[in-house]
């Protein structure tokens, strides 16, 4: 009997031992499985962020280049000066007859057939909720109500301080939301889950309401409506995308013009004015600071609270104090003499690739010597400081145009009839932001936290700085704050704590890169100021996918974007591969492949981990790089009947070309007029020291105007670029415009291009 009991105990022990071993094996397998998925997710995330930040760098470099051209071009007439003020400065909307008709929203008639939402002022809560329902049903708000709402919004914003003070004593809790980026579903989901704004439920939206998404207009209308209904409970901060120059590249300008073809220009002009009046930060109970980007080692909240924030119309360009007209002319003559030595712009027909211009080189050197030089157009180099000084007459003309355009505060419009001398006097007295004021605003809108101590240039974005835990701690101690809330960065979980939980990043646009790529989040603060994070997914499809399915879907999208990036640099990659192929056998090691790709793209990605998805496995660890590049091209050429090298160029430059088109299209008509084209060519030919007549420019414009309607649209603009690239590739060196001597070519060279 005892023996039987012992046997049963032994058998039970063995069964338990096997069970524990099986559980341990399953646990080990699951941990490895989850670790592999997490590694894939992180690689995917790195791809998306690297490509996004590379695009921001392109935006900054492109704007820097055009600003540089403007600084070194002296207008020869009033028309040229007026064109430049529209093209490269904040006053991009000249008052033509069409604009004058649209300037008074009360004169805009709403037809009886209009079935969308209607607004009357002062707004009531029902008006705001009606907007949400109408936009959910894909209805569009009439332009009259849009302009009326923007007009009332500006009147309210003008009265607000730079830093809003909010208290939890007057509401149960305060909800802070991050970037929305035109994703209306996320905003509707937040209101559905958290409740509509009310006296008991305050909100702070922390910038970047527009761009990238398709419903930026609708988001603005809802946010502005609730701000007018609940001015003490609903607060908005400015983000780096509340900037008309940034909007040119990232879609908001295009969205407005597509939705409001007749009154779009007036809406954009009014929005430009509204954006620069948005508050810069919000302070809760004097303990929690909310701002869009971050801080730096020079952030001064007292100075930020005092500056005239409406002077910072765009963080892409600093407009500092003015110098004399005589200095401008002297500098302009010197610049004209040295212009022949400047490199030809990469995007013009004379250039087939992106050269290392002095602008990029000097910017790089500045990054190593001065942290603040990394902010957009923020270099403190001598030549750039000098170049700004030549713009005195343009600045004076700009201020006169601003007054004539009706950009003054309400109640001052009757002063527009003053004499020209009085207008000039006031324009000369109106101060522009100092370099220090501008840097303060750029830093809080563009900066990101880092794990290391200190403060350094944010070379990844091309703007603001990276600030470490010590910088955060110094600011908190100086102003007796508990912690910071910022946005500006997409996070996989929608939020992230750093700097010993003293910095909280909140990002509210779920599925930002791809469906399933990230959650959205918002944070709720009660009287104890303890952050309560709420996460969500606004897309229902995401909730039906397993973790593996989500990661696979996002990974596929990221790799597709990365292959496009690789294809766009095929020529540069081929040259780099050949450097590693010393024996000229057409083979390189996979390690050399990874090093070459990084040296060309500069994305900072783990290429060795990614090579299994990008490169077919090789038994001898060697890659036939020419075949790999051909296979890369086949993926992009499958739906394009274009020569591989041409498509490569378009892939690389399309975003920049579209931005250039919108810059030249200074009145946002969707077309480049002959006058806009002529003035732009004068600017560029002056930089390249090419003598070109008006007749030649007209011939060139007519050759690009393929449908002969008198205007150049975006498709004709891109097609002209493609044809020029094709002629350069098919012809020999002597036939390419790059090799043509400007003095000998006369009118033929531009015409051929």
Give the catalytic positions in this structure. Answer: 241
* Nearest CA-CA partner of 746 in 708, 697, 705, 703: 697
For residues 112 and 47, give the distance between their C-alpha atoms in angstroms, rounded to a whole number: 50
Which residues, in sequence order, are bridge partners of residue 456? Answer: 466
451, 498 in Cβ contact below 8 A? yes
Burial of 617 (0-12, 13-18, 19+ CB in 10 A): exposed
> H helices within 176-312, ranges in order?
184-194, 216-229, 244-250, 252-259, 264-275, 301-306
Which residues, in sequence order, are bridge partners of residue 174? Answer: 202, 525
* Nearest CA-CA partner of 494 in 513, 508, 511: 508
Q: Tokens 């905003």, residue?
A: 187
295, 484 in Cβ contact below 8 A? yes
* Nearest CA-CA partner of 436 in 259, 588, 299, 620: 299
* Nearest CA-CA partner of 443 in 491, 495, 373: 373
Q: List Cα–Cα distances, 688 to 231, 251, 390, 735, 741, in angstroms.
A: 53, 31, 19, 19, 12
Q: Which residues are within 8 A (CB) of 436 and not within 5 positions of it... i.e. 6 or more apart?
A: 298, 303
Q: 588-604 burial, b for 16+ CB within 10 Å, e for fewer?
A: bebebbbbbbbebbebe
Burial of 70 (0-12, 13-18, 19+ CB in 10 A): buried
For residues 748 and 753, give the distance between their C-alpha atoms in angstroms, rounded to a whole number: 9
CA 526 to chain centre: 33
């Amino acid at each position: 009997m005892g023996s039987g009991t012992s046997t049963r105990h032994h058998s039970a022990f063995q069964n338990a031992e096997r069970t524990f071993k099986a559980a341990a094996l399953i646990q080990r397998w699951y941990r490895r499985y989850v670790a592999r998925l997490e590694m894939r997710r992180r690689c995917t995330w790195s791809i998306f962020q690297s490509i996004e930040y590379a695009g921001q760098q392109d935006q900054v470099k492109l704007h820097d280049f055009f600003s540089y051209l403007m600084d070194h071009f002296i207008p020869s007439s009033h028309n040229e000066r007026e064109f430049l003020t529209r093209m490269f400065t904040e006053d991009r909307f000249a008052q033509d007859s069409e604009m004058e008709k649209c300037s008074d929203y009360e004169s805009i008639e709403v037809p009886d057939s209009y079935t969308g939402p209607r607004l009357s002022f002062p707004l009531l809560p029902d008006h705001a909720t009606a907007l949400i329902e109408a936009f959910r049903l894909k209805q569009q708000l009439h332009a009259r109500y849009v302009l009326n709402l923007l007009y009332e919004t500006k009147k309210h914003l003008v009265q607000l301080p730079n830093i809003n003070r909010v208290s939890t004593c007057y509401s149960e809790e305060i909800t802070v939301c991050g970037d929305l980026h035109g994703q209306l579903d996320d905003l509707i989901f937040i209101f559905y889950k958290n409740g509509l704004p009310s006296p008991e439920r305050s909100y702070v939206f922390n910038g970047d309401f527009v761009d990238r998404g398709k419903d930026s207009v609708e988001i603005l209308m809802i946010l502005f409506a609730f701000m007018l209904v609940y001015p003490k409970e609903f607060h908005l901060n400015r983000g780096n995308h509340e900037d008309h120059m940034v909007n040119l590249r990232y879609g908001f300008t295009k969205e407005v013009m597509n939705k409001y073809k007749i009154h779009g220009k007036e809406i954009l002009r009014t929005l430009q004015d509204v954006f620069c009046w948005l508050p810069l930060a919000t302070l809760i109970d004097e303990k929690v600071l909310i701002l869009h980007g971050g801080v730096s080692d020079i952030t001064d909240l007292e100075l930020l609270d005092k500056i005239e924030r409406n002077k910072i119309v765009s963080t892409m360009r600093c407009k500092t104090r003015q110098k004399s007209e005589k200095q401008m002319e002297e500098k302009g003559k010197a610049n004209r003499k040295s212009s022949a030595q400047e490199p030809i712009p990469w995007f013009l027909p004379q250039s087939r690739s992106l050269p290392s211009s002095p602008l990029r080189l000097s910017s790089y050197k500045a990054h190593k010597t001065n942290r603040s030089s990394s902010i957009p157009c923020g270099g403190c180099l001598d030549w750039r400081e000098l170049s700004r000084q030549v713009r005195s007459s343009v600045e004076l003309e700009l201020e006169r145009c601003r007054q004539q355009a009706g950009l003054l505060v309400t109640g001052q419009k009757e002063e527009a009839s003053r004499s020209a001398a009085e207008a000039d006097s006031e324009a000369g007295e109106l101060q522009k932001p100092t370099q220090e004021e501008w840097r303060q605003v750029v830093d809080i809108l563009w900066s990101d936290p880092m794990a290391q101590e200190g403060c350094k240039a944010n070379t990844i974005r091309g703007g603001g700085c990276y600030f470490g835990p010590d910088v955060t701690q110094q600011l908190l101690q100086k102003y007796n704050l508990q912690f910071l809330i910022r946005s500006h960065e997409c996070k996989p979980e929608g939020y992230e704590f750093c700097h010993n939980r003293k910095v909280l990043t909140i990002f509210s646009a779920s599925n930002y890169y791809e469906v399933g790529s990230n959650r959205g989040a918002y944070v709720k603060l009660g009287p104890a100021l303890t952050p309560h994070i709420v996460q969500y997914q606004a897309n229902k499809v995401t909730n039906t996918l397993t973790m593996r399915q989500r990661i696979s879907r996002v990974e596929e999208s990221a790799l597709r974007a990365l292959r496009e990036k690789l294809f766009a640099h095929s020529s540069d990659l081929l040259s780099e591969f050949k450097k590693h192929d010393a024996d000229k056998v057409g083979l390189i090691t996979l390690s050399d492949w990874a090093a070459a790709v990084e040296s060309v793209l500069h994305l900072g990605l783990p290429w060795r981990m990614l090579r299994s998805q990008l490169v077919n496995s090789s038994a001898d660890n060697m890659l036939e790089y020419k075949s790999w590049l051909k296979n890369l091209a086949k993926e992009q050429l499958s739906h394009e009947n274009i020569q591989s090298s041409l498509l490569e160029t378009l892939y690389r430059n399309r975003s920049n070309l579209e931005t250039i088109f919108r810059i030249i299209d200074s009145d946002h008509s969707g077309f480049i007029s002959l006058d806009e084209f002529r003035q732009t060519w004068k600017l560029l030919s002056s930089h390249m020291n090419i003598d070109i007549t008006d007749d030649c420019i007209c011939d060139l414009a007519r050759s690009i105007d393929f449908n002969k309607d008198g205007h150049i649209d975006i498709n004709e603009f891109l097609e002209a670029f493609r044809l020029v690239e094709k002629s350069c590739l098919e012809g020999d060196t002597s036939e390419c415009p790059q090799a043509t001597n400007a003095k000998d070519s006369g009118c033929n060279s531009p015409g051929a291009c």
